[in-house]
A and B are shown apart, each in its own frame.
Chain A
Amino acid sequence: KNQVEQSPQSLIILEGKNCTLQCNYTVSPFSNLRWYKQDTGRGPVSLTIMTFSENTKSNGRYTATLDADTKQSSLHITASQLSDSASYICVVSDRGSTLGRLYFGRGTQLTVWP
């Protein structure tokens, strides 16, 4: 069964600290992995998209890594800011169907305290 599991479910950190969010998936055949940021009451916004051949991609203070062999990804946030408080969603796309189906994780709820 194709699944995307994220951990931790929630995380509280102090402003200025770093943190790492995890994503494990069983989706096969794999096409790409995306990380989205979703502020409360808003739609998700794309942070990174990585294909099979990419093992790291950065977007400002956000750095995503991908290990396609172990089917794991992480999102590292450096020098956190209050505005980083949001849900971070891992999404994996397969290439075994004409839809290019997307499998969504439940997200990690990050809270940054001053």
Chain B
Amino acid sequence: EADIYQTPRYLVIGTGKKITLECSQTMGHDKMYWYQQDPGMELHLIHYSYGVNSTEKGDLSSESTVSRIRTEHFPLTLESARPSHTSQYLCASSEMGALSHNTGELFFGEGSRLTVL
């Protein structure tokens, strides 16, 4: 069992609301990631972090923002949710590989299913 936790698991909110999806891991991993996944589609990287105070945008453009002020915590925030943000959001973490370009085994949380009405 991976020690990475996401809350809430399910969230239904109205348009324009601000939401924060929480992600915490107890494995001491430096690398953390946020992926977006729609039904039948591949995972898309929207944010990643190499460590405290390090955040980068991923391949898929997203209006969300992230922060990393503690190693174990990597929350994702949407300032004003829209129906187009409806999706499954998956948080993951990994150890740094022996070489900087190696990504170690990826551990995923259970996901947060967001529905914006």
Contacts and interface: CB of A to CB of B under 8 A. Distances in A.
Interface string A96-108: 1111101011110
B100 A106 contact: no
B48 A95 contact: no
Most chain A C-beta atoms within 10 Å of own C-beta, residue among B2, B6, B106: B106
Interface residues of B, number: 25
A38 to B, nearest CB: 8
A26 interface: no
Contact of A95 (B40, B102, B108, B110): B102
Contacts of A96: 101
Interface in B5-61: 6, 40-45, 48
A109 B43 CA distance: 15
A105 B101 CA distance: 20
A50 to B, nearest CB: 12
Interface in B96-117: 97, 99-103, 105-111, 113
Interface of A: 4, 31, 34, 41-46, 49, 89, 91, 93, 95-100, 102, 104-107, 109
Interface of B: 2, 6, 40-45, 48, 90, 92, 97, 99-103, 105-111, 113
